[in-house]
Amino acid sequence: MALIVHKYGGTSMGSTERIRNVAKRVAKWARAGHQMVVVPSAMSGETNRLLALAKELAPARPDDAYSRELDALAATGEQASSALLAIALQAEGMPAVSYAGWQVTIKTNNAYTKARIESIDDERVRADLDAGKVVIITGFQGVDDGGNVTTLGRGGSDTSAVAIAAALKAHECLIYTDVDGVYTTDPRVVPEARRLHTVSFEEMLEMASLGSKVLQIRSVEFAGKYRVPLRVLSSFTDWDIDINEEASSGTLISFEEDEHMEKAIISGIAFSRDEAKISVLGVPDTPGIAYQILGTVADANIEVDVIIQNISRDGKTDFSFTVNRNDYAKAVDLLKARVLPALGAQEVTGDARICKVSIVGIGMRSHVGIASKMFRVLSEEGINIQMISTSEIKTSVVIDEKYMELAVRALHKAFDLDQPAD
């Protein structure tokens, strides 16, 4: 008997019929002798509907009082889907119980809308599992030290599921989505994209951080830290598919580099439209400047990605970085109000019409010329590179948003990702 965690996304929970199919699938695994914990997302579109109601009543504000209520509101979506799934399982003759994050308890910090999990109390869950029940736990949410409901940010149910699997020392965590695994890139952009049978943890971490929407990055970080076996697979296969076939389908996130991985120089092309570039011009070229600029941004809980500082001229330099597009206006306002007068810089400029395109592959460690090939391909397509960021297993470029799909298609073909794997 193994302890298995299933996570189902919003499209998998999108209607009562789909919830019924999820219940049948979970019941199949339970009847096969497994202890089952399920983490569902809210029904597709429900979180957006709830947040839209809030905006009808009052424009979004950056203060904690408003964000606290947004979390309390948004968390109800997962609570509803969890209760509905428990009811569906009970209708299948399978004992089941649902819990909100604050009932488990999933403790988080108090960063509303972007909370981070600090601990999980598994005593109540284990007692129910030992009693033969399927346990359903709301994804996306927890509770802070003050008893306030918090949410983990978009895609947070992935993080909830992996964190719960880690706390319970689950045999495996299966992430059910509307796609049947991790692809070399988004098939909607490149129809020739291939599904990967296996991808390394490092590659998946990079792809998630660079814009791949299959898994939230924090869920991959949790999986790596606690070595949680992770598999991405489709919830739209027939629920009564053979359980052994289902258990080996999709894409396995592996912690071991095998011979097949070594052969693949590039495993995938990741991209993100949700990018914006900010430049602080005419900054004094003195020690501590980067901290003064980015410290202000970090204090506002805004994440920074690609960073470039230009060569100094006449004691002045330009400092550029990227942020998520949703944080763009807030970051610019902060810099103009606090950093510009404090540093005596000339101005703050920005561009919210950029994107980031990245090549990812552990084979880059042992192959030279990969980045230069990427730059050559983009040059041949007439695409100008604005910023570059590299690591051992990825190279990212910031380009004009209108060239994103062209860049992805050209790179996918140039690195032979449309060809069947050996």
Q: What are phi and psi of 44, to 5 degrees?
A: -50, 125
The per-residue pLDDT for range 179-195, each reduced to its tens digit, is: 899 999 999 999 999 99
* Displacement of CA 260 from its chain's centroid (Å): 26
CA dihedral angle for residue 35, residue 84, residue 80, residue 46, rounded to 10 degrees: 110
Q: What are phi and psi of 252, to 5 degrees?
A: -90, 130
Mapping DSSP to helix (H, G, I), strand (E, B) and coil, where does residue 256 land?
coil
Query: Residue 382: pLDDT above 80?
Result: yes
Domains, in order of start, for the chain: 3-256 (3.40.1160.10), 268-414 (3.30.2130.10)
Task: Judge whether 160 and 39 are in contact, CB under 8 Å.
Answer: yes
Predicted confidence band at 19 (pLDDT cuts at 50, 70, 90)? very high
Give pLDDT, residue 421.
65
Task: Judge whether 178 and 12 are in contact, CB under 8 Å.
Answer: yes
User: Distance (Å, rounded) from C-alpha 137 to C-alpha 334?
Assistant: 38
Predicted confidence band at 263 (pLDDT cuts at 50, 70, 90)? low
Per mean pLDDT, which range of 54-63, 171-180, 203-212, 371-380 is the poorest?
A: 203-212
β-pair partners for 324:
275
User: Distance (Å, rounded) from C-alpha 38 to C-alpha 291?
Assistant: 43
DSSP string of 99-160? E-HHHHTEEE-S-TTS--EEEE--HHHHHHHHTT-EEEE-SSEEE-TTS-EEE--TTHHHHH
